[in-house]
Structure 1
Amino acid sequence: MRARESANEAGVSDRVKFEIAAAKDFPGNDYDLVAFFDCLHDMGDPVGAAAHVARSLKPDGTWMIVEPFANDRLEDNLNAVGRVFYSASTMICTAASLSQEGQMALGAQAGEARLREVVTKGGFTGFRRAHETAFNLVLEARP
């Protein structure tokens, strides 16, 4: 795997480990940080993934979630970026979710309120928007 080779070349393979696993069953626990980049909305069972992250973190750990920028209301997403995200979401994100267990189909335009609902159903009590760009929301969840 290229990631392992890169870690070895960089001299960090003694403290960096790469695994291939599903979001609901990745190995390990007591993590300080778990990060999901542009993927929660593609999952069939994002609540199950959130619950697994909650069990995997240290009590004071953080889950960083980077998702496509979306407002909570359709009419607030009818702009150049939103239109691109809706079209890609229809063809890629929603279809990917519907092909998996759970079939939640959040899509790229889930919005912060819907993502908060998923995260809190997964067992998190702390949730906030840490940052945003024109293209992404950076969310922080804490147990």
Structure 2
Amino acid sequence: MISLRLILLSAVFAVTYGCKCVKPTQQLTYCRASWITRAKILKSTVIDSSIQYTVDHQEIFKNETVELFDKVYTPAYTAACGVVDLEVGEVYLLAGTVSPDTSAELQITSCIFMPANDVHPGINPPTWSNVSSELYTRLQTQDFKPCPLDD
């Protein structure tokens, strides 16, 4: 009985203090993201409480920044909305923002990513092999409603 209470308490603690954000839709992500790109992960390095991914931007679909650098940062913990399990050598559809503290630091989180579909958005950026031809065409043609979205 004590172990059941401990398990329930642990679950409540995890839910209470974990990452909380609205699950993104393709439209919402398009509006919130400063940049969207197909990128190959070349290297993953833990730096303090962040993960630095070195990426090769293979195709840029949206870019509101001056330049897309090859370093992308995320919190090192899922509880802080970090995207911690991108695999080196894999190609992903990444979407993110630029750090408000610097004009060059690209950031990704589990709160802003382009889902492969809106029905089952998942919890992390999709691998490129899971991006449908329909979404790819929408990204290429920027076939999204004007931003900001009206309620």
The answer, yes or no, to whether TM exceeds 0.5 is: no
Q: Structure 1 or 2: larger strand share?
A: 2
Q: Structure 1 or 2: larger helix share?
A: 1
Bigger relative contact order, structure 1 or 2 (CA pairs below 8 A, ≥6 apart): 1
The TM-score, its normalising length taken from structure 2, stands at: 0.23
